[in-house]
Chain A
């Protein structure tokens, strides 16, 4: 499915040394009467086969890596799996002292912070992608896309550092009092404004996933055929109507794929979230309250896990995180592929 649009290399045809096998290569050279052979010495088939198998082995290593990850996580989480079973994912009790482990608060924290990040990031990322592909003057285009990609190169821990010392005080002083005044009645924005908490985690995650969503959306928008745009414009549409009907509608599946890829990144993000989410395993309705995520409990407690069951429970959390991100990523890749690889753009509904 992936290589439909690419030219298929042909390796079967050109095998000159094999063609002259009855007499051997030396005999062939005599008959051809080449002045000086380009390759000195006999051409052997052994290095060719060896190289081919070495490369296949490298390809196999990628598959083996996946197997290794699954194996390590599965073996490591055995103990916890036998102790708690499926209950592990529904219990909200996380108590290392009494050896009681339930992952629900972490699952809740991961989902809420990631969804919050998506709500903030998606409109911004799509806006940037649309601006760069459809509206931007050509001279500015390269610089803008380079700058947004620069955001992706900043290490997670540096985002976290900035979030602790710059963003959190701003949220505490301005954003949280404002939200409490205007939207406090919903119950989502109540309680003391610590600054650190679910809201801060959502905002820093949003900043971190915008480049991913934006660059893949741009990739998808670029492959929408030019004549789709021209056709809509020829019917008398304004530029915005052209973008809405001719571009965004055609790229729908790819954009959804980009958003899901962003979600996958947000679910597994560790350092920046750990630094601002507050790290308390509680389920609270208010977004001002501190929370905890699957990734940050691993970051904080893995090295301190003393008991075997404690360590096993943490590895099971890793396993859960692994499976969720694998499913999310596989889904997203398939959706992006359906748009960017070879499929003709559907007609405007």
Chain B
């Protein structure tokens, strides 16, 4: 007590033992600054959301009017003729995406399992870093690689080449999300399985992967949504096609390619169809993601 008394003998204190510190009121300048910055932050949010709403509003406004049965069932008409549609492009997109998923999803999940279950070491760190870096490689560069790998060998553009390009883009994304989901599975569950005499591979497949199923599927769908709208890598792999094509080694139309071709054309009719195509593309992406989510929650895919 005596110590505190002597220490607190600051100017302005009268009572010993209780130091009286004058807290100056927050100055007007600081208070105004606080309110101004709050206002600025709100303004940035409005400015960022504005284009989002503008894009969706325009998409629906321009697209709805142009979508009809013909658009969904017919192939493109030559310039000048009204009507026609993008049916072949919609199917082509699905074929390319299916090829990409068949190749990319198992490889990506496998790499994710490696990172989580076998990659807690220097090699894992290298793979982890490379997949992060691969995620940032521009999609058009991936297109060049697929061109060199498939198109140069086959001597013509094909759905297969488009699928390869998109698969390369899927792998690193799926690997990283799968790893993160597997790491969320508690170690105790794995140990419980080992304790029952279950071998390691069986534990990984039936216990670890099964527990993380819904998370992994969400990650796969995110990767799928990302590549579904890709245009750049398809420009010189799938190339586009005005007609129906059911062969995977022939040039194939894709929705995103068709939107691009129509958007930069000088014809109003094609502009209208580009908007309709964009709306269909967004609806397909959102629909696919939603459908899988519902299946995960209620259906046979439901995890443990």
Chain A residues at the B interface, C-beta cutoff of 8 Å: 1-3, 6-11, 14-17, 37-39, 43-45, 47-48, 50-52, 54-63, 65-66, 68-69, 72-73, 75-76, 123-128, 130-132, 135, 144, 147-148, 150-151, 153-162, 164-166, 207, 210, 214, 236, 238-241, 243, 261, 264-265, 267-271, 275, 295, 298-299, 302-303, 314-315, 318, 321-322, 325-326, 328-330, 333
Contact = CB atoms under 8 A, between A and B. Distances in A.
B281 A153 contact: no
Contact of A298 (B44, B140, B168, B171): B140
B138 A322 contact: yes
A161 B274 contact: yes
A240 B37 CA distance: 7
A298 B144 contact: yes
Contact of A66 (B118, B120, B133): B133
A162 B23 contact: no
B127 interface: yes
Contacts of B172: 62, 65
A150 B136 contact: no
Nearest to A151: B52
Q: Which of B137, B226, B264 has the most CB of A within 10 A?
A: B137
Contact of A62 (B134, B231, B264): B134
A340 B141 CA distance: 30
A48 B201 CA distance: 5
A134 to B, nearest CB: 8
A48 B199 contact: yes
A150 B289 CA distance: 13
Interface string B202-232: 1011000000000000000000011011111
B215 to A, nearest CB: 16
* Residue of A47, A65, A69, A329 most packed against chain B (CB within 10 A): A65
Contact of B55 (A44, A154, A275, A298): A154
B65 interface: no
B144 A150 contact: no
Contact of B30 (A63, A73, A123, A241): A241
Given A73-B145, A240-B33, A275 B264 contact: yes
Nearest to B228: A155
Contacts of B51: 151, 207
A161 B272 CA distance: 11
A150 B52 contact: yes
Given A38-B197, A43-B199, A51-B204, A157 B235 contact: no
A158 B144 contact: no
A2 B123 CA distance: 12
Given A62-B134, A158-B278, A161-B259, A270 B126 contact: no
